[in-house]
Amino acid sequence: MTDSSKALPPVVDAKEWQRELDALRVREKAATRELDAIAAQRRRLPMVELPDYTLQSAEGPVRLVDLFEGRSQLITYNHMWFPGKQWQCPGCTGFTSQFTRLDFLDRYDARFVIVTQGPIDEALAYKERVGNQMPWYSTADSPFGADVGAPPGGGFAVNVFLRNGDTAYRTWHTDGRGCEQLSHSFALIDALPYGRQEEWQDSPEGWPKSPTYSRWMESQAYAELYGAAGA
């Protein structure tokens, strides 16, 4: 890691600082308008009718339409799963740890849940171990995960669904860095003078740099902070 004690932005007077900020604000506003346009295009996407999948819940088998719990819209996060591992993906563990108060989605007729390839008993035990607050479901005995871009041994993904009566439709999907727009953690870090401090980022000479992912919290750290043992 690079020593940040000498990595400082240039010092200017308040007028020069405001001029620089105003120039950046032009680009920030343009990015906001582009995100609005992307969201508008997303609302105009077609959709795909889905089979009547059966998943596993804490209470037993449930149909995909049951995950909506009467709502018309559903977001799922497909949490990566490694069979036999005590600690699952730290990125997925950290990403989903952010979502502790999801009741506001009720006003938008929507729900947000986790789906994983892990067996439901193991998934629920992991949820307890790391103190996760989201509802979890298992697609271990269903092709659902594979059909929505998160097969066994595969990566993470976000999918969005719309329910019309007793039929569910897939409306949107993203994975990789496409999931960042749903996260507040990177937005906060990117606002900092030193940013994420990862090697791939474009930063001034002398800014602190670390290998990618090296500053991310491990799954054990989430368990110590929020899990049953930590509590």
pLDDT digits (tens, 9 = 90+) for 50-67: 999 999 999 999 999 999
H helical segments located in 50-109: 90-97
Question: What pLDDT band is residue 231 in, cutting at 50, 70 and 90?
Answer: low
Residue 181 has pLDDT above 70, yes or no: yes
Calpha distance 54→52 (Å, rounded) = 7
> Which pTM value belongs to this model?
0.93
Question: What pLDDT band is residue 228 in, cutting at 50, 70 and 90?
Answer: confident
User: According to the model, what pLDDT value does residue 201 have?
Assistant: 94
Question: What pLDDT band is residue 6 in, cutting at 50, 70 and 90?
Answer: confident
What rounded mean pLDDT belongs to the chain? 95
Residue 4 has pLDDT above 90, yes or no: no
Calpha distance 105→76 (Å, rounded) = 13
Joined tokens for residue 103: 């009741």
Residue 134 has pLDDT above 90, yes or no: yes
Q: Terminus-to-terminus CA distance in the chain, angstroms?
A: 32
pLDDT over 90 for what percent of the chain? 95
95 and 77 Cβ atoms separated by less than 8 Å: yes
pLDDT over 70 for what percent of the chain? 97
Distance of CA 220 to the CA centre of its chain: 19
Question: What pLDDT band is residue 5 in, cutting at 50, 70 and 90?
Answer: low
* Triad 78, 157, 226: Cα angle to 5°: 50
What are the distances in angstroms from CA 171 to CA 44, 50, 75, 148?
Answer: 10, 10, 10, 11
Calpha distance 9→38 (Å, rounded) = 33
User: According to the model, what pLDDT value does residue 99 have?
Assistant: 96
Region 14-28: what's the mean pLDDT? 98
